[in-house]
Every structure is written in C-alpha cells, then in structure tokens.
Structure 1
Amino acid sequence: MSTPTEIGGYKLGKVIIEGKTKAVYDLPNNAGLCLLLNKDRITAGDGVKKHDLAGKAAISNATNGKVFSILNEAGVKTAYVTQVSPTAFISRKCEMIPIEWVTRRLATGSFCRRYPSVKEGYRFSPPKQETFFKDDANHDPQWTEEEIISAGFEFNGRKIGRSEVDIMRETTIVVFEILEKAWAYRQCALIDMKIEFGIDEQGQILLADVIDSDSWRLWPSGDKRLMVDKQVYRNLTTVTQDDLETVKRNFEWVSEQLDHIVPPNDNLVVILMGSPSDKEHCEKIAKYCKELGLNAELRVTSAHKSTQDTIQIVREYESLFNNLVFIAVAGRSNGLGPVLSGNTTYPVINCPPVKSDNVNIDIWSSLNVPSGLGCGTVIYPEAAALNAAQILGIGNYTIWSKLRVKQLTNIVSLKQSDELIRGLRSVSVHK
C-alpha cells in the first residue's frame, strides 16, 4: 500500500510514529499540527491477536471526532482539532507521555483478575484510578504515581512531576464523568476507559491520542451480556469473518448512538429587573449564563408597581419551558424575588444590584422573605449564573460538564499559581 502524500488538503511530511491501528504524520506547512490516520485494523493482547477489519478506520475516526467534540465543548483541554477525511483528523502536535490512565466505575476484567477477592460489579465511588506504563514487550505493567514521578520524564521542556501527575489524574476523572453522563443519556453504562496525555509545543498538558470503541467498556442498559466494545473481540478464542462483522456492527452502533447523545438546548434563564437602571448588572449575569451553555432573556417588570404584569410574564414562560430558572434583580425593597417565588414552582434566585452605600439594607430585603417562600440570594452576577447552571445541569449533562470542567480549571489554576510562587521564592532565596 502506497504512502499518501496529501489528505484533506494537508500536505503530509514524515511519519512521526506508526502504531498497530494508526499512523501519525507531520504537517510541514502547518506548524504545531499533525495528522492521525486510522487503519482498518483491530488488535488485542499487545498485538498478539490482530485482524484486518474493513471500515474500522472510518468508524473509529467518526467515533473519536464525536467524543472529542463533546469534551471540547465542555472546555476540556484536548489536542483534537478537526476531522479532515473519513479516516483522518488533525491534532495539535504533542510529545506523548507513555502512560495509560484507566478509570473504572465497576470492577471487571483485568482488575478482578489482579484482585480476585473483589467481586465483579463492585462499584467504585469515586471512580477507581489506575496507571500503566506503555510497554508492549512487558504487557503494559501497572505503575504507581510515585513511579511516574520518579521516571523523570520530560517532554517539550516540561518535566513530569507531582503537579503534572495531579493535573492528569484530575482531568482523567473529569473526562470519565462527562462521558459517563453522556452515555447515561442513551441508557448505556460506561464501565471503564483509558486515555492518554501529551505535552504540546507550548508545554501544555493536553488530552491526546484517540478515544473510540477500543478505549472503553460500554454496556447498554448496564448489562454485561449486551457489551458493544472491543471486549467482544478480546473474548473470541477463534475469529471468523462473521465474528468480525459482529464486532464491526457493534462499533457502528456506538458511533451512531453518539449522533443522538446531545440533549436539546431547551433551557432558559429569565432575568427580570425591577428597573432599566439595573440593565448593566443583568447583562453581566446573562454573559456568565451564556458561557455556561445557558440561554438567557432579560425583562423589565416591577412586582410593586405592576404585579399582574409580573405574574403574566411568569405564566408565559411557564407555558413554554420545562427547564426554567428565574433570576430577580431588584434593589432597595426587593419584592420581585419573593413575589416570583410565591407564584411559581420554578427556582427563583435573587441577585440584587447592591451598592456600597446601601448593601446591608438591600441584602436584608432579599434575605428576609416571608415563610413558605424558597428563593435564594447571591450578590455577584457570576454566582447567580453558576447557581442557575447547577439547577439546570441536574437534567442536562452538557451544562453539568461545563461546571465540572470549571472546577477542574480552578484546581489547575491554583496549582500553576502555587508552582509560580514557589519558583519565585526559590529565586529570591538564591539571590
């Protein structure tokens, strides 16, 4: 088979690395990028079992693209850029860290063989994390985090130390939980999965490589007998063409399910202001809402001056939306939030536009609500948006995913700040 020179309009350079199921090409005209070309090949047991499987490359490429689209939309830092042909995609060029990060929700497979006293189906909460050094000759031995740190790995100028291992561990959990919730939307249980990381030319840690049906165990309806992942192939003692067609159909089914895995964007946050003078405050709330994947509308109404109009606005939205949150923006004597709360069963959040000269009075008027009312109060626009997202994210994993990644971003930012301070401190000591 001849080596391609161009794919999807991208001129191919040298082969950076070639594995059992894909080849990675340099892109001489596109700095910082590379192209991953999938193969019509399926393997297991460190490549001991291997078969050609026509169509697998396209299925894997499509599956991988859909998975990374979910993760990119949630805000996970990944190397994936875009699909450029049925069997190839563009990625940021990374030096790969030779560690597989495995996350398990249920005990099964190799875990139960290594720990026979643990009953199959044992549920790990939080998910169980394991790491394995990529070494086919030694069957990818399990490594501890201490071994990873002690190995002294360095890629693109970044040494893999405690902070890097912590970031990869936390990211691995987030990736698993996002995809677990995504698959639950299609009544499928994500049992376990493996991912890999790379360091790009800017020294960033990125989720890289490929995530497809080779990467996970997936049980429809949580039933192991219905498995549709690569384990079906691993379990075969002899492999016929009919067996390969069954494996292919399973992979196709998984890819097709990913087309229907995105929930409808039918949420709405209605931001009601008691006066148009509060518009700037409300626009800040709306901006944060949109960053979290929430739809937002602004309205002006006064519960004191036009009570019937206020209630009519509420009724209009109640008739149109099931996933609905009201945010009341009213200073001075806040009657808006309590009136909304007393006339709807949907969540109401008070976010008064407080000013330094009357902060105590304005906050108190929002907090001191009559008995029987459940509206909460926050004072920052971002907090109001986050509160609304936490409510709407209960039934929408895409919103939940953005919140989960935001937590991860906070952790990573703190670690980076700590490293910077420690570095500055070290320099000042030597001076």
Structure 2
Amino acid sequence: MATIIEHTKRDIKKIAEGKTKEIFTITNHDEYVLIRSKNRITAFNAQRSNQIEGKGAIANDTTCNVFEYLTALGLKTHFVERGAENEFVALSCQMVPLEWVARRVATGSFLKRNPGVKEGYRFNPPKIEVFYKDDANDDPQWSEEQILERFFEFNGLKIGRREVNLMKRQTDLIFRVLEKAWATEGCALIDLKVEFGVTKNGELVLADVIDNDSWRVWPAGDRRLQLDKQFYRDLKQVDDAALLKLKENYEKVAHITKNFVKPTRGRVVVLMGSASDMEYASKICDGCKNLGIIAIKRVSSAHKTTNDVLDIIAEYEGDGVPTVFVAVAGRSNGLGLVIAGNSPLPVINAPPLNADWAAQDVWSSIRTPSGYALSSGNQGN
C-alpha cells in the first residue's frame, strides 16, 4: 500500500468537504479516497464552532485505532491504511445518508424525544435508532419503513430489507465490541453513531469515521468525567482553558483506543502424528491466523516417539504463554490422550477423518478413559 500513500502526497483532488473533514480522490487509484480530518470542532449544527490546533491529527489517530481494531475482528470496513498524521486512505464509497445510533444508557437527545424516560435508563439489548442525514431539518429520526420506501440505490446496490437488517445488526455488533474494549480500559461506552457506504464493487461496509465525536464515553460510568464531545456541548462559555481541557480529553481517548488492538498472548500448537497430515494441519493454522492467533506446527508420533512428544509438551509449558494443543492424528489416535494425560494445558483432538476408516477409528479420539479433559472436532472443508 505504500504506493497509495505516495500518490496522496502529490496527486489528489478535493471532491467533498464537511464540517470536520475533507475527502480527496487519488489519481490513478479510483477505488480509493483520502480522508483528511480538520482541526475544527462544531456543535449544535455548527452554530458553535472552534479551531483546536492538532485536533485533526488526534481525531484521525482515534479513527484509525478503532478501524484497525474492527478490521482485526473481521468486520468489513472502508479503512485501508493510515496516511499523514491527519489522514487515512479508504475505499471509495457512495455513502448511505443515514446515521445509525446504538444506545446503552438513555441520555442526551433521547430524553428530549422520549419524555418520561429518566436519564440513566439502561437498554438491554442496546437501543438501535436511525436518523436521516438532513442538516436543514436537524437529521430527523426515521423508521425502517421510511428507509425502505425511499428505494435507495448506491453503486448498483438497492437498499432493501436485507441491507437495512445488515446495517442494524452491524450497528449493534460494533457497539458491543467497542463497549467491551472500553470496559477493559475502565470506561463505559454510553452510545455510538456509525455510518455505512457502498463500495464500487457494490459491497455494504462500515464507512465514514469513528472518532471522539462519534460516541459518549464515561470513565467508571461517571458522566462528570466524560471524555467525549459532549464536554464541548455542555460548556456555558468556550474559552482557551476549556478548549485546552477538551484537547487533553481527545488526546487521552486517542491514547486509550491505541490499546484496543493488543498483542496476541496466546498460541495454538498443532501437533501432528505424521508429516502426511501437514495439509490438514495447515488449514487449522490458517484459520487461527485469520483470527489473529499464533499457530505453530510440530510433528511427533505418540506411538513411535513418545519421549519427543513429552519434550514438546514441556517446551510449551515452560514459557508461561497461554497455549492450546490441537492433536492431529488419525488411525488409533493416542496423541491427544498422551498430551492430555501429561499436561494441564487444554487439548483438542482434530483427527483428519477419512471415509475409508473414520466410522470405526474415530472412537479412538472420542472414547477416552475417565479423567481426561479433552474435546474432539474435525476441521472440515
């Protein structure tokens, strides 16, 4: 992707500009755009507006941290790579003009639209709302039926019931995984807004940005400690001291979100009874790697080289890294039992079943002596 970044330095053209960001096309890379965050912060439909030096870079850092985290979890987004400190490269999308909002706690505009609901009411599951992006009419709330009746179409994709359900489910999922990420940092994610776009290939993906203007975050669940844009909205008077505090909050959020993607500590050791099972074991390792899990392949027969198997077990027990063994052995599978009987580490039997003998010999993997804690499964196709 280095070539994309190189092009962004000299060959870009602005195609859109909003209150807090600019979007550029990249010459000779029509499938990508460059998204640049500004130093501007706004509230109340831009009736309040201020410049904060460095805010664009801080917001971009948060967005990239969040998108990298969601991408690592397997979620499809428009994010491609970081650019300059206030820029990132994304897939070119036609944006769906809807803001999807997930709420765990009732606060803010929800209370105004739903009189009688007390602040702090908890939604289980998260409350999902959708708003049509229309500044002139203050982004009115829409029903799913209103979306369907507009017959939206973007890059050849018609927005029907399936697409509406997908956006709704993904909004819920994105909120839940970010809520857990924030919880590990001692903060409560109160609500979150996201947007979706359709790529030039007609794929619906998470798009736009997710930065500190996109959510409410309360450390220890205490609103008085809020780190998000609501601090700016609540200011009775905007002065230099308040803007400095706001910038410090944004910097803190950028720092915290950098911890969302944590280095993998655990690993899987795929131990084969024979090198002939290498292709099967490689599929297991590929699946682990797709989930960000370190996978290691080893070969040793429980029947022919038992001492070597015990040495391998000792090797991975001794360094303190959380480890799961996957035993890949077929006929007369004793490998999983040898590992489980000589190690406290979890063991999964994954015999490479063959139609010629599986019906009879699979029992060597699943019928085990009492006191052996191991499970059995098959990698499949």
Q: Distance in 2 between matches of 1:240 and 1:110?
A: 25
Q: Distance in 2 between matches of 1:171 and 1:84?
A: 26
Contact 1:288–1:381 (8 Å) recurs in 2:
no
Aligned to 1:82: 81
The alpha carbon displacement at 1:308 in A equals 4.0
Q: Distance in 1 between matches of 2:170 and 2:82?
A: 23
Q: CA RMSD in A?
A: 2.2
Aligned to 2:93: 94
Letter in 1 for 2:283: K
Aligned to 2:291: 292
Letter in 2 for 1:123: R
Letter in 1 for 2:123: F
- 1:389-428 → structure 2 map (5 Å cutoff): none
Aligned to 1:202: 201
The TM-score normalised by the length of structure 1 is: 0.81
Letter in 2 for 1:368: R
Q: Distance in 2 between matches of 1:316 and 1:117?
A: 62
Aligned to 1:400: none
Aligned to 1:238: 237
* Stretch of structure 1 that moved more, 65-74 or 352-361: 65-74
The alpha carbon displacement at 1:322 in A equals 3.5
Q: Distance in 1 between matches of 2:156 and 2:353?
A: 48
* Stretch of structure 1 that moved more, 42-51 or 88-97: 88-97
The alpha carbon displacement at 1:205 in A equals 1.2
Q: Distance in 2 between matches of 1:25 and 1:283?
A: 42
Letter in 1 for 2:370: S
Aligned to 1:16: 15
Contact 2:97–2:133 (8 Å) recurs in 1:
yes
Task: Encode CA deviations 1:299-320: one digit per residue, 9 max, x unaligned.
Answer: 2233344444423322221111
Aligned to 2:372: 373
Letter in 2 for 1:349: I
Task: Encode CA deviations 1:269-319: one digit per residue, 9 max, x unaligned.
Answer: 111122233222222222222222111122223334444442332222111
The alpha carbon displacement at 1:10 in A equals 3.6
The structure richer in helix per residue is 1
Runs of 5+ unmatched residues, structure 1: 1-5, 383-431
Q: Distance in 1 between matches of 2:122 and 2:317?
A: 39
- SS of the equivalent of 2:83 reads strand
User: Does residue 65 of the first structure (1) align with residue 64 of the second (2)?
Assistant: yes
Q: Distance in 1 between matches of 2:189 and 2:195?
A: 18
The alpha carbon displacement at 1:221 in A equals 2.7
The alpha carbon displacement at 1:55 in A equals 1.7
Aligned to 1:54: 53
Aligned to 2:254: 255
* Stretch of structure 1 that moved more, 321-330 or 95-104: 321-330
Q: Distance in 1 between matches of 2:7 and 2:359?
A: 64
Q: Distance in 1 between matches of 2:347 and 2:130?
A: 44
Letter in 2 for 1:98: P
The alpha carbon displacement at 1:123 in A equals 3.3
Task: Encode CA deviations 1:51-83: one digit per residue, 9 max, x unaligned.
Answer: 222221121122212222222233322222233
Identity percentage over the alignment?
Answer: 49
Q: Distance in 1 between matches of 2:90 and 2:378?
A: 42
Aligned to 1:362: 361
The alpha carbon displacement at 1:136 in A equals 1.8
User: Does residue 339 of the first structure (1) align with residue 327 of the second (2)?
Assistant: no
Contact 2:194–2:214 (8 Å) recurs in 1:
yes
Task: Encode CA deviations 1:209-228: one digit per residue, 9 max, x unaligned.
Answer: 11110001112233322210
Aligned residues: 376
Aligned to 1:163: 162
The TM-score normalised by the length of structure 2 is: 0.91
- SS of the equivalent of 2:125 reads strand
Structure 1 pair 374/121, CA: closer, same or farther in 2 (3 Å)?
A: farther
* Stretch of structure 1 that moved more, 348-357 or 44-53: 44-53
Q: Distance in 1 between matches of 2:218 and 2:22?
A: 29
- SS of the equivalent of 1:376 reads strand
- SS of the equivalent of 2:362 reads helix
Task: Encode CA deviations 1:88-141: one digit per residue, 9 max, x unaligned.
Answer: 332222221110011122332222333344443333333221101111222211
Structure 1 pair 367/21, CA: closer, same or farther in 2 (3 Å)?
A: same
Aligned to 2:3: none
Aligned to 1:276: 275
Contact 2:8–2:26 (8 Å) recurs in 1:
no
* Stretch of structure 1 that moved more, 129-138 or 373-382: 373-382
- SS of the equivalent of 2:123 reads strand
Contact 2:349–2:374 (8 Å) recurs in 1:
yes
Aligned to 1:229: 228
Aligned to 1:353: 352
Aligned to 2:151: 152
Runs of 5+ unmatched residues, structure 2: 1-5
Aligned to 1:122: 121
Aligned to 2:41: 42
Contact 1:284–1:381 (8 Å) recurs in 2:
no
Structure 1 pair 381/318, CA: closer, same or farther in 2 (3 Å)?
A: farther
**4+ residue segments displaced more than 6 Å:** none
Q: Distance in 1 between matches of 2:306 and 2:113?
A: 67
Contact 1:352–1:362 (8 Å) recurs in 2:
no
Letter in 2 for 1:90: V
Q: Distance in 2 between matches of 1:270 and 1:159?
A: 45
- SS of the equivalent of 2:318 reads helix
